[in-house]
Amino acid sequence: AELTPADLYGQAFWRLLSRCALIGCAVNIGFFFVFLSYGPMILAWMNALGVGAFAGAYLAIKNRYNRVGLCLIWIDVLVHSALGVVMTGWDSGFQYYLLIFIPVICLTSPRGWVLPGLCLLWAYYIGLAMVMWVVSPVETFPATVLNLVLLFNMTAFFAIFSYLSFFYLKVVMNVQR
């Protein structure tokens, strides 16, 4: 079987992903309380399920069921981002979490699957954008709440993507030594 970059990085990559799962738990906990306070309740409970998915991913990775953990993260983010965008609109920024999968696809896929994986992710992202051209958000929020949700999503995306970038830099520097 062809090795993936994650296989080569070994424990360091899976340790990184387990930390990302903890960050995912924290983001979901934060949004649970936001939507518990401002509604809609379905998003509050979706975030509670997200905490469970990310906690399950963390435990799976810690117990070396790495692919199970990765699948739990994928399923949660794909479903959660679509539901968040459809419920609150494109301007909420829930679609940004999908972009985090660009380096994940590159690091966890065999070489022959990288381009198809990236194309599928792109199609999902673009498809979600196009849906929102014709579908109005299910819920409306006061502009202040929607702006705070957007800023939170932008901040979380920036932090997670920066963390992944620092990891990659560390791996490259270790290889060059």
pLDDT in tens, 91-137: 999 999 999 899 888 877 888 999 999 999 999 999 999 999 999 99
In this structure, what token pair is assigned to residue 135? Answer: 């579908």
CA gyration radius, the chain? 17
pLDDT at 172: 72
What is the pTM assigned to this prediction?
A: 0.85
Q: Residue 5: exposed, middle, or buried by beta-carbon count in 10 A (0-12, 13-18, 19+)?
A: middle
pLDDT at 1 over 70: no
Angle at 65 between CA 59 and CA 71, to 5 degrees: 85
- Helical H runs in 11-142? 11-38, 41-62, 66-88, 96-99, 101-108, 111-134
Instruction: Please report, as a single letter, which amino acid is at residue 171.
Output: V
Peptide bond into 142 cis (omega under 30): no
pLDDT at 63: 94
pLDDT in tens, 12-68: 778 888 888 998 999 999 989 988 988 788 889 999 999 999 999 999 999 989 889
pLDDT at 19: 86
CA dist 32 and 54 (Å) reads: 14
Are 25 and 51 spatial neighbours (Cβ–Cβ below 8 Å)?
A: yes
pLDDT at 11 over 90: no
